[in-house]
């Protein structure tokens, strides 16, 4: 199997509902996101997927939430914008597109969100 990984970042506000602690009040994080792709076959150029293409897929997903209050945006008006749910959000948004682009040759293996330098949450299926 081959894997390809791209990291990026965004800065957003959030607060956690039904939670007692620091994160119940509105505040911001400089988040980092890492998306890892997996696949068994390379393309004609010997790539699983051009890093540039993965960045292009991640860009609009990031732009939608960068410098926003996450709680005001779907699906975080309903579910909490926790690092766990953000990881799943990136997984779902990027996986659908990548599978389409590559006719199922490449899919997302996992997504990790850094809420701080030392705390991460990962989603995979």
Smallest gap, in angstroms, from Cβ of residue 29 to Zn ion? 5
Active site residue 107: no
Which of 88, 85, 106, 86 is CA-nearest to residue 97?
106
How many Å apart are CA 22 and CA 29, to the nearest integer? 13
Q: Are 10 and 66 in contact (CB under 8 A)?
A: yes
Smallest gap, in angstroms, from Cβ of residue 23 to Zn ion? 4
Cβ burial of 106 (10 Å; 0-12, 13-18, 19+) is buried
- Which residues of this protein are in contact with Zn ion, per CB under 5 A? 23
| Closest residue to bound Zn ion by CB | 23
Smallest gap, in angstroms, from Cβ of residue 80 to Zn ion? 10
- Extended beta strands in the chain, E state: 2-14, 27-39, 107-116, 119-123
Active site residue 23: yes
Quick one: 39 or 81, whose CB is closer to Zn ion? 81
Task: List the catalytic residue out of 3, 7, 67, 125.
Answer: 67
Task: List the catalytic residue out of 14, 23, 29, 111.
Answer: 23
Quick one: 102 or 120, whose CB is closer to Zn ion? 120
Active site residue 115: yes
Which positions are annotated as active-site residues? Answer: 23, 67, 115
């Amino acid at each position: 199997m081959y894997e390809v990984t791209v990291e990026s970042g965004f800065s957003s506000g959030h607060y956690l509902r039904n939670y007692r602690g620091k994160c119940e009040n509105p505040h911001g994080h400089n988040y980092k996101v890492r998306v890892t792709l997996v696949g068994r076959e390379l393309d004609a150029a010997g790539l699983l997927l051009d890093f540039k293409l993965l960045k292009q897929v991640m860009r609009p997903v990031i732009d939608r939430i960068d410098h926003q209050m996450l709680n005001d945006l779907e699906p975080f008006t309903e579910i909490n914008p926790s690092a766990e749910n953000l990881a799943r959000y990136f997984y779902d948004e990027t996986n659908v597109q990548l599978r389409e682009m590559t006719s199922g040759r490449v899919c997302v293996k996992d997504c990790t969100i850094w809420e701080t330098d030392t705390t991460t949450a990962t989603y995979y299926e």
